[in-house]
Amino acid sequence: MRLARDWLRSIVDHWYERLSFVFVAVLIWQVLGTLEGYWWEETYAIVGVTLIATVVVELLVPGRRLYRGIVQLGLITALTLQFTNFRWLGFIDAPPSSREWAFWLEAHASQVHPFLWIVLGVWLFYSLAGQWASSRSHVVLVIAGCMLTLLIADSFTPIILWDKVAWTIFIGLLWLVAEHFSKFQAKHPESWRHLIEYPAALILPSLLVLSLVMASGLFVPNIAPVLKDPYTIWRESRGETVPSFVGDKGPVSASSNAGDSRSGYSRNDEALGGGFQFDYSSVMTVATDRKSYWRGETKAEYTGEGWIDAAGERREGSMIGIVSEEQLPVEDGPTGDVETVEVTQVFTMIREEPLPVLFGGAPISSLVSMADEEEQPFPIPGRVSWLPGSWELHWPTQNAPVAYPSSYTLTSKMAVLDEEGLRAASTDLGNSQKNAMYLQVPDTVPQRVYELVEQITAEAQTPYDKVKAIETYLRDNYIYTNTPDLAKRQSADFVDAFLFEVLEGYCDYYSTAMAVLTRIEGIPTRWVKGYAPGIISSGIPDFDMGMPPEMSLNTDGAGTYTVRNADAHSWVEVYFEGYGWIPFEPTSGFAYPYAVAEETTEVTVPETTPTETPAVQPEPVKSSPLPLIGAIGVVLVGLAMLWLRRRQIVEAMIKFRFRSYTANQRIIWETEKLLRHCRRNGLEYSEHETLREAVAVWSERRRFLRDDFHEVLLQFEKAKYSGLEASEAEAEQLVAKVKSIKERL
């Protein structure tokens, strides 16, 4: 009982400090709203749970702030491991080599990347802001910083943040009220004790005033602003209009956006639709011995508005430390009994901005070489990563050790088109989670889309025939245009609106519709984006407007292609057992350049695609993360103890280092260190000069240090030449003097 009272007293006695951390956590959560649409849902969940856990620890754990920080770090680690489904990996060989240790560390770090670093960054800001905001001026600065961040993001981005601005104001006012009561408690403790006997009389007036202030801002009559903010004035000076949200701020509809949207690989995938203008600026050239689509990324989850990475894709393990010409593992690719053709491609970049991936025909089998803008080859950076399940070759976009390559060479092994074999193939991925991921259809898709699929595939006997029927139906019944008439759209679902209302569109419309229709038929499908082949050196665009796909199967594709922003494209891949993910092209006017046996009998190299896990991801021998959690906990506790005892440790190290030195020897050693330091800071000193000569010169150049230099000189000469033994106090005095000189230099 006594312990409980002591615990409660420790909480109550420091109520304001702990409440400050609660306010900081709420403000941080409001500011994180600026990242809406940029962060994954998992990241928001981890950060949100972490903030709640740290606040609970802050409120309930007694004792010093350091102890609560250690508990919070342990919770952050445990929560991150739980959310990321962390798996403990062991070693195949014992004892492991240094290279295996590096791969082992990278394999564990990649499982929690980037979640752990994001959470630690948020927690560090939370801790520093909560500790720093101990006075009213600091509180105001924290609130102002949050407000400024929200206001800038609200003005210069399409994110709507007015509700978060309102919450920030409300929390800021509450914080200032709490700070006022804290000062009142410190100055008038007796009056404070009388006040807290009637908490309702203390709290209700403050809440009433704050509620009236907030309500007045929400319910006053709507009037146009008298003074325009600088952002509005700047936009209007450029001839642009700024929508007004007086009284009812909301998002701008797609139809009201008058901005110029141009074609290119970086177009937003999460909200498809709208129109665009073709941008014919060049991106790269591709020298290849076979024409192909240049594949970039795939996405598996359709939201009703666009595509995002599914949870399984975000958790997919990646291979790093890629070696030149190393065979890359491919999951769900063509097996050994399927005929493949090897294609070599040399990509030369024209666009200067880096891209998130390295492109290539699918699937990429090896990364051969890279070169910079001076055509000098350089090693493949260790952070270049290969995703064997998604068939994506990622280039590090943040803190990349080198610039995006000006050119790179890679090879691909493509399955030869075998329609009879595909008709006999199953479409089961053999994994319930993968099947669910690639058969996902949201509830936004209405029943008439399902009925349409039944009509399209009524006469098809096999999954392959059903896929071809859907592909042909889309190609033959919808019009290709880069400026679809969105005024016809009524449905909230993107695919439903395209199939029954808009009836026209570009590649994103066709490919998304085919992915959804094929999934409804129970056939695993994924959405892919990259580039169409481009323009071959003859100058003729490499797409066949209106040409049936059968006529383009045997097109000779060898040559050099110029790929432009206008060639940014999307299509679908459908899974067939033994053949892997086969591309299909539903967009009217385009034809996928398949590899066929007649063209490739001399160059086909049948080869079994590796299915075993590569060396960089050794087979796990343990599944429990407890050893890693324990190791991290020990490290954190150890670091905390070292920080607490840092002064004693430094003093002990100094004493240990000079344990066998006499006072004279230490004075000489410290003086010689000072000489080297002065030389690095521009005070010249040659080996033929005496210290007295050097000090005479330095005293003229650094007059404010003249007395200090002479004091060190006298101590040095006494220790080295007089034969008298200096005392320990004199040695410590010289050490302090040398330190003072270094700081003032």
What DSSP assignment string belongs to 284-295? EEEEESS---EE
3-state secondary structure of 266: coil
For residue 245, the model assigns a pLDDT of 44
Tell me whether residue 224 is in a domain. Answer: no
For residue 48, the model assigns a pLDDT of 86
For residue 3, the model assigns a pLDDT of 60
Q: Which DSSP helix (H) or strand (E) runs through 656?
A: helix 646-657
685 with 564, same domain: the answer is no
566 with 713, same domain: the answer is no
Instruction: Give the CATH number for residue 319.
Output: 3.10.620.30
Tell me whether residue 120 is in a domain. Answer: yes
Say which DSSP state 37 is in. T
633 with 699, same domain: the answer is no
Q: What is the pLDDT of residues 387-396, one digit of tens each?
A: 999 999 998 8
727 or 254: whose pLDDT is higher?
727
Ranges of beta strands (E only) in 447-534 are 479-480, 504-505, 525-531
- In terms of phi and psi (left: phi > 0; alpha: psi -120 to 50; beta: otherwise), the region of 577 is beta
Cα–Cα–Cα angle for 588, 573, 532, nearest 5°? 50
651 with 566, same domain: the answer is no
Sheet holding 525-531, edge to edge: 294-299, 525-531, 568-576, 580-584
Question: Could you give the angle at which helices 706-721 and 728-744 cross, rounded to 10 degrees?
Answer: 140
Tell me whether residue 354 is in a domain. Answer: yes
Containing structural domain, residue 466: 282-537+557-584
Lowest mean pLDDT among 74-88, 126-140, 613-627: 613-627
Dist CA 100 CA 102 (whole Å): 5
414 with 370, same domain: the answer is yes
pTM: 0.49
For residue 458, the model assigns a pLDDT of 92
Say which DSSP state 707 is in. H
Q: In whole numbers, what is the pLDDT of the chain averaged over residues?
A: 79
* pLDDT confidence band for 230 (50 / 70 / 90): low
Dist CA 38 CA 653 (whole Å): 48
CA distance from start to end of the chain? 60
Peptide bond into 620 cis (omega under 30): no
Dist CA 473 CA 678 (whole Å): 81
Dist CA 479 CA 275 (whole Å): 14
Token readout for 543 is 């797409």
482 with 519, same domain: the answer is yes
Tell me whether residue 272 is in a domain. Answer: no
Residue 601 pLDDT greater than 70, yes or no: no
169 with 206, same domain: the answer is yes
* Residues 16-35, mean pLDDT to the nearest whole number: 85
- Contact predicate 658/666, CB 8 Å: yes
3-state secondary structure of 469: helix
189 with 168, same domain: the answer is yes
Residue 143 pLDDT greater than 50, yes or no: yes
Most trustworthy range by pLDDT among 354-363, 399-408, 604-613: 354-363
Tell me whether residue 268 is in a domain. Answer: no
Domains in the chain, number: 4
* Residues 725-744, mean pLDDT to the nearest whole number: 84
For residue 558, the model assigns a pLDDT of 84
In percent, how much of the chain has pLDDT > 70?
76
Among 195, 219, 243, the domain boundary falls at: 219
- Contact predicate 625/88, CB 8 Å: yes
Dist CA 531 CA 507 (whole Å): 11
567 with 715, same domain: the answer is no
Dist CA 568 CA 225 (whole Å): 43
For residue 93, the model assigns a pLDDT of 58
Tell me whether residue 727 is in a domain. Answer: yes
Among 636, 657, 678, the domain boundary falls at: 657
Among 219, 238, 253, the domain boundary falls at: 219
Tell me whether residue 10 is in a domain. Answer: yes
The torsion angles phi and psi of 45, rounded to 5 degrees, stand at -65, -45
For residue 657, the model assigns a pLDDT of 59
477 with 397, same domain: the answer is yes
Token readout for 341 is 């053709």
469 with 339, same domain: the answer is yes
645 with 672, same domain: the answer is no
Tell me whether residue 309 is in a domain. Answer: yes
Classify residue 677 as exposed, middle or buried by CB count within 10 Å of its CB (0-12, 13-18, 19+). middle
Cα–Cα–Cα angle for 550, 556, 557, nearest 5°? 105
Residue 624 pLDDT greater than 50, yes or no: no
